[in-house]
Amino acid sequence: MEKNTTSSSRYGQQGQPHRLQAALISLQTIAYKETHRYMRIWVQTLVPPAIIMTLYFVIFGALIGERIGPMEGYSYMEYIAPGIIMLSIITNSYNNVVSSFFGAKFQRHIEELIVSPTPNLVILLGYVSGGVGRGLCTGAIVTLIALMFTSLPVHNWAITLSVVVLTSILFSIGGLINAIFAKKFDDIAIIPTFVLTPLTYLGGVFYSISLLPEFWQNVSLANPILYMVNAFRFGILGSSDVHILLSYAMMIAFILALGGLSLYLLNRGTGLRA
- Predicted local confidence at residue 2, as pLDDT: 47
CA separation for the pair 138, 92 (Å, rounded): 7
- Identify which has the larger pLDDT, 124 or 3: 124
DSSP-assigned beta bridge partners for residue 74 = 71
Residue 273: pLDDT band (50, 70, 90) is low
CA separation for the pair 263, 82 (Å, rounded): 32
**Per-residue pLDDT reduced to its tens digit, 147-206:** 999 888 899 999 999 999 999 999 999 999 999 999 888 889 888 889 988 898 888 899
Reported pTM:
0.89
- Identify which has the larger pLDDT, 112 or 229: 229
Mean pLDDT over the full length of the chain: 88
Residue 15: pLDDT band (50, 70, 90) is low
**Contact between 182 and 141 (Cβ < 8 Å):** no
User: Which whole number is the average pLDDT over 127-142?
Assistant: 95
- Predicted local confidence at residue 10, as pLDDT: 44
**Per-residue pLDDT reduced to its tens digit, 208-266:** 888 888 888 888 899 999 999 999 999 999 999 999 999 999 999 999 999 999 999 99
| Lowest-confidence region among 12-21, 72-81, 245-254 | 12-21
**Contact between 188 and 101 (Cβ < 8 Å):** no
**Contact between 150 and 78 (Cβ < 8 Å):** yes
Q: Report in angstroms the alpha-carbon separations of 153 from 31, 64, 147, 162, 235.
A: 33, 23, 10, 17, 9
Query: SS3 helix, strand, coil % of the chain, rounded to 5?
Result: 80, 0, 20
CA separation for the pair 270, 88 (Å, rounded): 29
CA separation for the pair 260, 256 (Å, rounded): 6
- Predicted local confidence at residue 67, as pLDDT: 81
What 3-state class would DSSP assign to 74? strand
Provide the b/e sequence for 220-238 (b: ≥16 CB within 10 Å): beebebbbbbbbbbbbbbe
**Contact between 204 and 126 (Cβ < 8 Å):** no
CA atoms within 13 A on the CB side of 181: 13
CA separation for the pair 93, 131 (Å, rounded): 4
**Amino acid (1-letter code) at residue 137:** C
